[in-house]
Amino acid sequence: MPPEQGRCTCLVAGPWCGEALRRYLKDNQLLLSGSRPLKKYSPIRTMLPVFPVRGAVDATAVRDTFLQICEGVVEVVETSCEAREKWEPPISFTVVGDVAIISLSEEIRGREKEVAEELLRNVRGIRAVYGKEVTEGEYRVQRLVHLAGEIIEVTEYREHGLVYHVPLGKVYINPRLSAEHYRIASQVAPGEVVLDMFAGIGGFSLLISALGRAELVVANDANPWAVSAMLDSIKLNKKKLKTPILVLNMDAKELPRVLRPVFTRIIMNLPHSSTEFLDTAHRLCSPQGCIIHVYVVARTREEALNLVPGSISATRVLDYAPRKFIYRVDVAAEGRGDE
C-alpha cells in the first residue's frame, strides 16, 4: 500500500440521504477533510455517497441517527483513504439542490463571474451559480442574479431523506437549518397537534410528518409560491409522509378565524417579526397548554430571552450577521382559547 494511504472509517448513505449526511458531518466538524476513499482498496462497490469521518467520531451513533431520519441505507465501512489536494473555495457559498448561491459582497466585487466559474469547476453536483443581492419584500426572499452555468428556475433540494421543490428567488430556504428541523421534529411526542405558523416550503412540517408521531400538522405561509412549492413537495414525498398535513395560505394573524385552539406545539420561524404574532400563538394553544418555539435575532442569549415574554430557554441556532445570531426561544404557554 503506498505510504500516502491509510485506513479510515466511512459512512455510506442512500442517495436520497447523502446531502443531509454530508451537511450534518460538515456542520458538526465530523468530516475528515483532505481525504477520500480509494475504490481500489475499498469494499464499497456501489455509487452511493461515501464520507470519511474523523477518527474520534462515534460513527455507529451517527449511523443510528440517520437510519431513523432516512429510513434506508446508512452503514459504517472500514476502508482505505488517500490524501487529496484540498481546494479552498474563494468565498463561502450555499448549495440548494444543484445550484450554488453566493453573496455578492464587496469581497468579490468585479470578479463575481470568475468566482462563480471556479465554483462550477470544483463543487461536485452543481449545474449553476447564482449571486444573492439582498433578501427583500414581504416574504423575505432572496433576489438572485445568474452568474455561471445553466439557467435554473426550479431545483430539488434534499434534506433528511425528503425532497423539496424550490422555485429559486421566490421562496426562503436556508440549508443551514437542516439540523434545527430535525431537533424540533424529534421533540414531537405521539399524539401532538402541531402548527407551523410560517412554514415556508415545509422544512419542519414535512419532517414532522415523516417521523409520524404527530396526530396532525397544520402548515401555514403567506407566500403563495412557498405554499405551492410545499404542496408539490408533499406529492413528491407522499410515500414517506405518515402524519396528515393541512396546508394554509394566510396571514398568520388571521389563523384564529379558521383554526380552533387545539395545538400542543407551535413553530414560529420568522426571526425578524415572530414576536408580533405571539398573541395569535397563545390564542391557538391547546387548553392543556403548549410549547411555542419562537425564532428571534439577538446579540446574546439574555437579549433573546428578554424579547419573548414567558420564555424558559434560548438556544443559538445560526450566525446571522457580525455579533448577531438567530436564537430559538422556547415558551411553555397556557392555553387561552378564544378569549
Element at 79 (helix H, strand E) = strand 74-83
Q: Does 296 lie in the same domain as 254? A: yes
What CATH number is attached to the domain comprising 277?
3.40.50.150
Q: Position of cell 450554488? A: 100
| Measured CA distances, 281 to 162, 198, 227, 254 (Å) | 28, 12, 20, 11
Domain contains 122: yes
Range of the domain at 30: 5-83
Q: What is the pLDDT of residues 288-306, one digit of tens each?
A: 999 999 999 999 999 999 9
Domain contains 108: yes
Q: Position of cell 456501489? A: 46
CA distance 272 to 202: 19
Q: Does 240 lie in the same domain as 127? A: no
pLDDT of residue 1: 35
Q: Does 232 lie in the same domain as 187? A: yes
pLDDT of residue 74: 81
Q: What is the mean pLDDT of residues 131-149?
A: 83
Select from 83, 114, 137 the last residue of a domain. Answer: 83
Q: Are 235 and 156 in contact (CB under 8 A)?
A: no
Q: Does 318 lie in the same domain as 226? A: yes
What CATH number is attached to the domain comprising 37?
3.30.70.2580
Q: How many CA atoms lie within 13 A of 124 on its CB side?
A: 5
**Could you give the 3-state DSSP secondary structure of residue 328?**
strand
pLDDT surpasses 80 at 121: yes
CA distance 279 to 265: 15
Select from 60, 83, 106 the last residue of a domain. Answer: 83
Contacts of 33 (CB under 8 A, 6+ apart): 86
Domain contains 158: no
Domain contains 75: yes
Select from 30, 53, 83 the last residue of a domain. Answer: 83
- What's the gap between Cα 106 and its chain centre? 27
Q: Does 73 lie in the same domain as 98? A: no
What CATH number is attached to the domain comprising 134?
3.30.300.110
Structure pTM? Answer: 0.78
CA distance 198 to 267: 8
DSSP 104-166: --GGGTT-HHHHHHHHHHHSTT--EEEEEEEEETTTTEEEEEEEEE---SEEEEEETTEEEEE
Q: Does 182 lie in the same domain as 143? A: no
Domain contains 166: no
Q: Does 200 lie in the same domain as 71? A: no
Domain contains 169: no
Q: What is the mean pLDDT of residues 49-69?
A: 80
Q: Does 250 lie in the same domain as 327? A: yes
Q: Does 288 lie in the same domain as 146? A: no
pLDDT surpasses 50 at 195: yes
Q: What is the count of structural domains for the chain?
A: 3
Q: Does 192 lie in the same domain as 47? A: no
Domain contains 136: yes
Q: What is the pLDDT of residues 154-177, one digit of tens each?
A: 999 999 889 999 999 999 998 889
**Across the strands, what pairs with 156?**
165
Q: What is the pLDDT of residues 307-333, one digit of tens each?
A: 999 999 999 999 888 889 999 999 999
Q: What does the longest C-alpha to C-alpha distance in the chain come to?
A: 75
Q: Does 240 lie in the same domain as 205? A: yes
pLDDT of residue 86: 64
Q: Does 251 lie in the same domain as 196? A: yes
Q: What is the pLDDT of residues 71-105, one digit of tens each?
A: 566 888 888 887 766 667 777 888 999 999 998 87
Domain contains 19: yes
Going 190 to 193 to 198 to 203, the CA torsion angle's sign is: positive
- Residue 89, number of CB atoms within 10 A of its CB: 13
